[in-house]
Amino acid sequence: MTKLLDVNGLGRSFGGVSAVRNLSFAIQPDEILGLIGPNGAGKTTVVNLLSGVIKPGSGRVVFSNEEVTGLAPHDLARKGLVRTFQSTAVYSGRTVRENALRGAYFKRYAGFVPSLLGSSRAKEMRTAADQLVEQLLGWFSLQKVADSVAGSLPYGFQKTLGIVIALAAEPRMILLDEPVAGLSAEETDHVRDVILRVRKRGISVLVIDHNMRFISGLCDRVVVMAAGHELAQGKPQEVLRQAAVIEAYLGKSNVAADHQ
């Protein structure tokens, strides 16, 4: 089976402490994979390693059949691997449309001088960026607020806008770091629906979150981490019932109770 992302033996230590140890997993085209685990498991470190924010100490990362281990974030983004952050990462004082154009200009910007002079190439790229953004705003039900200041939107819609910004860069895969952190149940459901729409566009997703209801209702598979290493992999409904996973999240006293 074709692998879009293939991670083998990924590792990274800080000051002699292993944050991630010998982690391996793969993501298929159009798949939503959850990366979960208790606090301190190393999940965000993994996303930072995959997105080029920090460099691996060991292991290989292959994306679309090309080794990308240790590449910088902008190089990875150009290859189609884009991430969002735990915060919304929107410019609160700019409009929704202006924020979305940030992502579109990543691949559709002719350069400062051509844009300043209004070259035909610059105009073509600007038109293409505008068209892409309008399409995305419509797809994710943000057209009605396109001219509103982003900071005035409910937090859930700001999270959606962060995903739209990433999509405007035309990725093949998105890494989502806690996309529903701090959201209400209604906002969480909205973001889940947004991510499912992302998959319908043929884009794979790696998502980190602590909300097990959200993860189990969204992901095709999950990888569970504990203390920097893999604890389990598989379908959410199967993995979340394993004694080792329950113990990692809730402690040994809850394992017996859960299996009575």
- One-letter-per-residue 3-state SS of 162-173: HHHHHHHCCCCE
Full domain range(s) for residue 235: 5-258
pLDDT in tens, 64-113: 999 999 999 989 988 999 987 544 568 889 999 999 988 887 765 545 44
The pLDDT mean for the chain works out to 86
**pLDDT value at position 183?**
85
**pLDDT value at position 108?**
56
Of 20-29, 63-72, 177-186, 194-203, give the lowest mean pLDDT range. 177-186
**pLDDT value at position 260?**
45
**pLDDT value at position 118?**
62
**pLDDT value at position 211?**
85
Given a cut of 90, whether residue 12 has pLDDT beyond it is yes
**Rounded (5°) CA angle 12-77-227:** 25
Give me the amino acid identity at 234.
Answer: G
Question: Cα separation of 67 and 73, whole Å?
Answer: 14
Question: Who wins on pLDDT, 238 or 128?
Answer: 238
**Main-chain dihedrals φ then ψ at residue 223, nearest 5 degrees:** -115, 120
Given a cut of 60, whether residue 117 has pLDDT beyond it is no
> DSSP per residue over the chain, as a string?
---SEEEEEEEEEETTEEEEEEEEEEE-TT-EEEEE-STTSSHHHHHHHHTTSS--SEEEEEETTEE-TT--HHHHHHHTEEE--SS----TTSBHHHHHHHHHTTTS---HHHHHHT-HHHHHHHHHHHHHHHHHHHHTT-GGGTTSBGGGS-HHHHHHHHHHHHHHT--SEEEEESTTTT--HHHHHHHHHHHHHHHHTT-EEEEE-S-HHHHHTT-SEEEEEETTEEEEEE-HHHHTTSHHHHHHHH-THHHHHHT-
CA dihedral for 170, 148, 155, 190, sign (positive or negative)? negative
Number of domains in the chain: 1
Question: Cα separation of 202 and 83, whole Å?
Answer: 16
What is the mean pLDDT of the segment spanning 245-255?
A: 69
Given a cut of 50, whether residue 259 has pLDDT beyond it is no
Length of the chain: 260
pTM (predicted TM-score) = 0.84
**pLDDT value at position 21?**
96
Of 15-24, 88-97, 149-158, 216-225, give the lowest mean pLDDT range. 88-97
pLDDT in tens, 29-56: 999 999 999 888 999 999 999 999 999 9
CATH code of the domain containing 121 = 3.40.50.300
What is the mean pLDDT of the segment spanning 122-130?
A: 75
Give me the amino acid identity at 68.
Answer: V
Give the confidence band of 119 by pLDDT, cuts at 50, 70, 90. Answer: low
Given a cut of 60, whether residue 243 has pLDDT beyond it is yes
Given a cut of 50, whether residue 62 has pLDDT beyond it is yes
Task: Evaluate whether 12 touches 186 at the Cβ level (below 8 Å).
Answer: no
pLDDT in tens, 150-168: 999 888 888 889 888 888 8
Name 226's bridge partners: 229
